[in-house]
Amino acid sequence: MNGNPYLFAAYAVTWIIHIAYLGTIVRRYTRLRGEIEQLKKPGVRSSGNSD
Amino acid sequence: MKKTFPILGVLTAVLLIYALYQGLVVAPTERTMGDVQRIFYYHVPSAWTAFILFFINFGASVVYLIKRNPAADIVALVCAEVGVVFCTVVLITGPIWARPVWGIWWTWDMRLTSTLVLWLIYVSYLFLRRFSSGGQTPTLAAALAVLGALCVPFVYFSIWFFRTQHPQPVMGGGGSIDPRMLHALLINWLAFSCFAFLVCWSRYRLEKLQREVDQAHAMQSLLDPSGSVR
C-alpha cells in the first residue's frame, strides 16, 4: 500500500470526528460530576439552569 | 457492570486496530482506483452503522409514542446523536473519495443529496431536543424521528431507483467483491458497530445522570428555604 493523501485524510477525519465527539461526552460528564458534588454539599443552593 | 465497560472498550480497541490492518494491509488494492478505494472500509461501515442507529431511534421513538417510557426516549436521543456523528463521517469521507475518482468533491445526485437530507433531518431532531423546552418536546421529537426514519430506506435504495453516479450497493447490488475485501469490510463494520454500541452506552449513562441531576435541582428549588419559586 502506497501513501495516498486522500486515504490518509479520510481515515484521519473519521477519527478526528469520533475523538471530538468522545471529548464532548467526557466534558459533559466532568461538568455533571461537578454539579453532583455541589448538590451533595449541605446547604448549597441549586445553581443549575433549566435549558 | 463496572468491569464490563473497560473490558469491552479494550476488546473494541483491539478489533478496531485489527480492522484497520485488514483494510490497509490485507485487503488487495483495487485495480482501477488504487489505494484510495480503501476509504471504502471506513465509508461504507460508517453508513451502515448510521442507518442501524437511525432504525433503533425509530423503534425507540415508536415505543415512546405508545408507552411514554422515558428510557425509550433516552435511547432514541442517544441513537440519533451517535447516528449523526457516523452520518457526518459518511458525508465527509464520501467527497474525499469522490475527488480523486470522479474529479469532483460533490454532485447533486440522488444518493448524495438524500444522504445530506437525512443528516439534516436528524440534526433538526437534535436541535429540537436541545433548544425546545416544555413537556411536549420528547413527543414532537419522536414524531419527527418516525418521519425521518422513512428517509433511511429511500437513501439506501436511491441507487436502484434513480440513475446515479454513486456505485451500486455491496450487498444485493448484483456485483462481485474479492473475499478479502468483503472480509475487511465486514470486520470494519463489526468494529465500528462495537464502537458505536460503547459510545451509545456511555451517552445513555450520561443522559440518565443529566436527568437525575436536573430532577435534583428541581427538588432543591422546591425545598429552597427562602421559599422562592424559580
Residues of B with CB under 8 A from a CB of A: 20, 24-25, 29, 34-36, 38-39, 42-43, 46, 82, 85, 88-89, 92-93, 96-97, 99-100, 133, 195, 199, 202-203, 206, 209-210, 213-214, 216-218, 220-221, 224, 230
Helix, strand and coil content of chain A, in percent to the nearest 5, comes to 70, 0, 30
Domains along the sequence of chain B with CATH = 4-164+175-199 (1.20.120)
**A42 three-class SS:** coil
Q: What letters, b where the CB count within 10 A reaches 16 and e where it falls short, cover B32-46? A: eebbbbbbbbbbbbb
More confident residue, B133 or B127: B127
Do B229 and B218 meet the contact criterion of CB atoms below 8 Å apart?
no
Interchain pair B210, A14: CB under 8 A: no
Specify the pLDDT at position B230. 46
Residue type, B59: G
B35-39, B200-204, B217-221: range with lowest mean pLDDT: B217-221
For residue B75, pLDDT over 90 is answered with: yes
Specify the pLDDT at position B132. 85
Distance from CA of B212 to the nearest CA of A (A): 10
User: Mean per-residue pLDDT for B145-149?
Assistant: 91
Say which DSSP state B225 is in: T
B70-84, B134-148, B186-200: range with lowest mean pLDDT: B134-148
For residue B57, pLDDT over 80 is answered with: yes
Specify the pLDDT at position B154. 85
Q: What letters, b where the CB count within 10 A reaches 16 and e where it falls short, cover B54-87? A: bebbbbbbbbbbeeeeeebbbbbbbbbbbbbbbb
How many cross-chain Cβ pairs, A to B, lie less than 8 Å apart?
90
Evaluate whether ipTM surpasses 0.85: yes
Instruction: For residue B93, give the nearest of A14, A28, A39 by CB distance.
Output: A14
**Alpha carbons B155 and B163: distance in angstroms, whole number:** 13
Tens of pLDDT, residue by residue over B96-119, are 999 999 899 998 988 899 999 999
H helix intervals, chain B: 4-21, 40-67, 70-102, 110-131, 137-149, 151-161, 179-222
Specify the pLDDT at position A1. 54
Specify the pLDDT at position B171. 60
For residue A25, pLDDT over 80 is answered with: yes
**Alpha carbons B146 and B140: distance in angstroms, whole number:** 10
Number of Cβ atoms within 10 Å of the Cβ of B151: 19
Specify the pLDDT at position B152. 87
First to last CA, chain A: 50
Mean pLDDT score across all residues of chain B: 90
pTM of structure: 0.89
